[in-house]
Structure 1
Amino acid sequence: FEVRNPATEEVIATVADCGPQDAVSALDAAAAAADQWARTSPRDRATVLHRLADSLLEHRERLARIITLEIGKTITEARGEVDYAAAYFRWYAEEAVRPPGRSTPSPDGRSHIVTVAEPVGPCLLITPWNVPLAMAARKAAAALAAGCTAVLKPAALTPLSSLMLGELAREAGAPPGVLTVISSSDAAAVTTALLADPRLRKLSFTGSTPVGRLLLQQSGARVLRTSMELGGNAPFLVFDDADLDLAVREAMIAKMRLGGQSCVGANRFLVQESIADAFAAALGERIAAIRVGAPNRED
């Protein structure tokens, strides 16, 4: 299927349109690699993640250009997203060598109860279109650090940065099947096939609340472990004792970053009546001054 530049409607790439059988094949690879990756020493897993963090920064400009092409995000924000993604791999590389666990005396005092964390197994990671590389990194870095293999399904609008992430993961030393990326124009079909497979042990989803509810329903039959980051945000509140210049600056960030397409973006402003006109006028001036144009331009 076609991937288009939303700023120009130009077709910038065509990618494989995976169906349910392709999804199961991806899970085949994840399941086949699961035991070996789980037995890989935490230090060796950390080394792979550190290499991947380095690789993301080495390819920072190329990745940023890909993000800008497929999503329309400004090049400045896209570069920041690459740094953000690399930081996740760096963080979880260091977490890999500190697995959680505890030891406590038993109630009778004659022995100890030891609790250790173990890899849960193959994971399905579903990411949104508005932060395509960093959200993939946040999920994949945690899974791989814990010793889990993963199937990553990016949004159909923005598959290119995730596909490059998969390439860089292999180059960094991730064995085949540890991170498999599948692109599809039919998310429901591939997701349903994977959730029905008993080899899948974990679902991580970032997206809308209605889709999250549906995925939780589908996961319930097998009591699948889930991590859901669903829609929802809060109003931006401004009281009359606020620093008005600061409030306006923060309001611009809260509303206009990512061109307004942020899941934590403010949908509404509640301003105390005595300063409402002044706040609206100042915010209007700032919004009127925004430069609209090709997102790959530095200005």
Structure 2
Amino acid sequence: MRLPGARDTVRMTTSLPPTVAAHVPTEILVDGSWRPARSGRTFEVADPATTQTLFDVADGGEQDALDALTAADGASAEWRAVAPRQRAELLRAVFETITARTEDIAALVTAEGGKPLAESRAEVAYAADYVRWYSEQAVRLDGLARRAPSGTNHQLVLRRPVGPALLITPWNFPIAMIARKVAPALSAGCPVVVKPAQLTPLTTAFVAEIIRAELVERGMPAGVINVVPSSSARSVSGPLLADPRLRKLSFTGSTEVGASLLKLASEHILRTSMELGGNAPFLVFDDADLDDAVEGAVAAKMRNAGQTCVAANRFLVQRGVADEFTTRLTAAFERLVVGHGAETGTTVGPLIEKSAVDRVEEVVAQAADAGARVRIGGDRPDRPGYFYNPTVLDRVDPALRLVTEEIFGPVAPVVTFGSEAEGVELANGTPFGLVAYAYTRDVARVLRLAESVETGMLGVNRGMVSDASAPFGGVKASGLGREGGEAGIEEYLETTYVAL
């Protein structure tokens, strides 16, 4: 059985099983119906490991976006009135369906994004955990009732949904990011318009159809979830942010785009959540367990070929262990296997597009010209697709672009430092502050780092920090607000104080 919105537009599905390809919606979802863009235009979605086109997807524009907002606004009052328990049960059913369809969704994530299947399966599980967590949070939206200190009246503090929300998701985690945004929004009672990334809209559509089907089956308003893929983000976000019916914006992407969206959001004083760029330091101190540090470094650096906002970007290693750490990290990178994500044994997939490879190649070449030593990699493999070999460099000047800019590729530059204070200074020497990693056995040092490193998240002796039950977000130019944990649903709630 084919899902609504699925069309015979598959051009090449070497990495996507036919049974999955036949069930991928490729149109726009508005008020419970999949339909073409009003313009009739489409754009191509390609497999970055082969550069071959997978699907033609409906190319939404201004009127499509406004249609979606009309649907969300029309569903708002009814969705707000749905009992929290019913919203919880809806999300629980979505969690169970996503879990049951893990292999299908993972194949889709790999096809359009390139990451190895093992990573795609892990992403599906990670996304499902957000849906489960916020299904449980739907019935835990606490308020307050108390007598005022003056004794003259009583105080009630109530929570209510902020209203229709625009969710703009990135390409690098297509199911995790829709889950991290849609689940708390629906749990809180907010209908949504989703603008998926142009490069990876297919997984978003697949998950949106799961949610749409559950809404319809339960007699709930289908306009609760709407999806508008587009080759022009501005043609969707601009009209929506200018419309007073929209009350919330959640964006994950670059700091530059986030700053421009904040300016537009200011016109109607929208609630905003912004998860922006990063430049994560990975601190290794002299007392670190180097085996653990190298294992954590590979995990923190090489997920999705380094294309994550929480990827370790700068390896800051104390001088006493720098040579040994770099030698071990180089050996670990030698064991990585570059290939198509659907191929058995692949541990590193492609970058998302040619411009990404070109940029990584450029900053590595600049570093090498400036005296950095390439210990491994530093080039492209001889194969089709947007690949770049895993690369380790040492003797790196911290003023180089390789260190000051977010790489978003499989490249690990090693910078040495002397004292703890010097390491902290290097870690903080960036406008960004999303995540930091530190390897040390000194508990007192951990406490000092927690207070001195300017970051929204700190991973201690581990290369992963993300968890559905924990607040995810950064400081400085890395964003505003938090996703995940109890804080994540707060972003979709208003507070009303009643004096009785």
TM-score bucket (shorter structure) = over 0.9
Inter-partner Cα distance in structure 2 for 1:85 and 1:256: 19
Matches within 5 A, 1:28-177: 28-173=70-215, 175-177=221-223
Q: Which has the larger radius of gyration?
A: 2
| Corresponding residue number in structure 1 for 2:390 | none
1:297 maps to what in 2? 343
Query: 1-side partners of 2:263 and 2:159: how far apart?
Result: 27
Letter paired with 2:185: A
Matched, 1:269 2:315: yes
| Residue type at the aligned position of 1:215 | L
**CA–CA separation in structure 2 for the residues paired with 1:189 and 1:239:** 48
SS at match of 2:193: strand
Q: What residue ranges of structure 1 are gaps of 5+ in the alignment?
A: none
1:178 Cα offset (Å): 0.3
- Structure 2 contact 254–276 (Cα < 8 Å) conserved: yes
Instruction: Say if 1:6 and 1:72, in contact at 8 Å, map to a contact too.
Output: yes
Runs of 4+ in 1 over 3 A off after TM superposition: none
Aligned residue for 1:213? 259
Secondary structure, in 3 states, of the residue corresponding to 1:125?
strand
Do 2:195 and 2:236's aligned partners in 1 also have CA atoms closer than 8 Å?
Answer: no
Greater relative CO (CA pairs within 8 A, separation 6+): 1
Q: Which SS does the other structure have where 1:31 is aligned?
A: helix
Structure 2 unaligned segments of length 5 or more: list them: 1-42, 346-500
SS of 1:118 mapped into structure 2: strand
Query: Displacement, 1:74?
Result: 0.7
Corresponding letter in the other structure for 2:328? A
Superposed CA deviations along residues 212-237 of structure 1, whole A, max 9, x for unmatched, are 11111111111111011111233111
State the match for 2:64 in structure 1: 22
Distance in 2, matches of 1:240 and 1:250, equals 16
SS at match of 1:7: coil
Q: Which residue pairs with 1:234 in the alignment?
A: 280
CA RMSD of aligned residues (A): 1.0
Q: By how many angstroms is 1:93 displaced?
A: 0.8
- CA separation in 2, counterparts of 1:110 and 1:99? 27
Residues of 2 paired with 1:290 and 1:205: CA distance?
Answer: 33
Quote the sequence identity (%). Answer: 52
Structure with the largest fraction of helix: 1
Match of 2:160, SS state, is coil
Query: How many aligned positions are there?
Result: 299
- Residue 59 of structure 1 deviates from its aligned partner by 1.1
Per-residue deviation at 1:111?
2.6
Matched, 1:222 2:222: no
CA distance in 2 between partners of 1:244 and 1:98 (Å): 43
